Amino acid sequence: MSISRREFMRWSAGGLAAVAVLSRWSWGQSASPIRLSACDWSLQAHGPEGLAIAKGVGLDGLEVSAGDPDETLAIADPGLRARYKEQVEATGVVVSSVAMGLLNNAPLANDPRGPAWLDQTIEATADLGAKVILLAFFGKGDLRTREGLKEDDVDVVVQRLKDAAPRARDADVVLGLENTLSAKDNLMILDRVAHESVRVYYDVGNSTYNKYDVPAEIRELGDRICQIHFKDGAYYLGEGKVAMEPIAEAIADIGYQGWVVLETAIPSKDRDADFRRNAEFLRRLLAPA
C-alpha cells in the first residue's frame, strides 16, 4: 500500500521518523509517489556543487557522471565522493544514480578497461548511497546498425555484465542498460545475462524517436526497468513528439516507483526556469490518480 507524503506526515508519530523515511536513497523505496532527478550534463550542474543547482530548481536528486575514460574514473576518487556526500548533507538533494556516459566513446564491448570501470563505478555508486548505474550504448558503443544487432559486441557485453552482476548485487546496485534497442532485444540481453542486478534504463525520448511503441515497451519490460529518463528533443515536455499521457498510464500500470530523471533541453536558454517548468509538468503528469 502506498501513501502520500502528506498522509505519511500525519500518520507518523514524530517528524524525525518521517524525515528518515522520506530521505531514503534506495531505488523504489520512497514514500513519495515520485522523485525527480536530472542528468548533470543536461542541468549543466557538474561536480558536487551541482546538487545545490538541482535543489534550486526543485529537484530531489542529481544523476552524476562517472567521468572521462581514464584508467581510473573521477568517481573512483574517495575525495570527490566525500565532497558529494558533504553537499548531500548540506542540500538534502541526493545522488540518484551514476551515469557511465564515457561508454559511448569507449564502448564496453571493446575497450579493455571496461571491466575495471564497472568495478570502480559499482563501488563508488554504493558509497554514494545510489542504487542505479546507467550504462550507455550510443555513438561508438551502439549495439546495432541499420542491418541489425552487432552480434559480436552483444556477446562481449553479455559476458562482461555476467561477470560484473554478482559484484553489483553484493553492493546493492543495479546496472541499467540505456541504448537504441527495442524492448524485445533488451529482454534478450537480460535473459542471457540472467541476473536481477542487470536491468533496463528506459528513455522515453530515445525510444519515441527510434519509432518504438513506448507504452507497449514499458508494459513489456515491466519490473525490469530500473530507472527512466524523460526528454523530448528540443521541446518542453508535453509539447513535442512524445505522447506523455499514454506513457504515464503505462508507468502506473507497471507500478514503477523509482527515480524519474530529466534529460531535457533548455528551449528558452533560461536553465532554471525550463527545468522548473519540466519538473512541474512531470509532477502533474505522474501524480497518483
Predicted confidence at residue 92, as pLDDT, reads 98
Average pLDDT over residues 58-84: 98
Is residue 131 predicted with pLDDT exceeding 70?
yes
Residue 288 binned pLDDT confidence (cut-offs 50, 70, 90):
confident
CB environment 210-242: b (16+ within 10 A), e (fewer): eebbbbebbebbeebbbbbbbbbeebbbbebeb
Grid cell at residue 79:
575525495
Average pLDDT over residues 70-87: 98
| CATH domain 33-286 topology | TIM Barrel (3.20.20)
Q: Each residue of 255-277: pLDDT tens digit? A: 999 999 999 999 999 999 999 99
Q: Where are the domains of the chain?
A: 1-25, 33-286
Distances (CA, A) of 24 to 19, 189, 283: 9, 31, 19
Residue 11 binned pLDDT confidence (cut-offs 50, 70, 90):
very low
Q: Each residue of 84-123: pLDDT tens digit? A: 999 999 999 999 999 999 999 999 999 999 999 999 999 9
How many C-beta atoms lie closer than 10 Å to residue 246's C-beta? 14
Residue 13 binned pLDDT confidence (cut-offs 50, 70, 90):
very low
Predicted confidence at residue 33, as pLDDT, reads 64
Residues 40 and 46: their CA atoms lie apart, in Å, by: 5
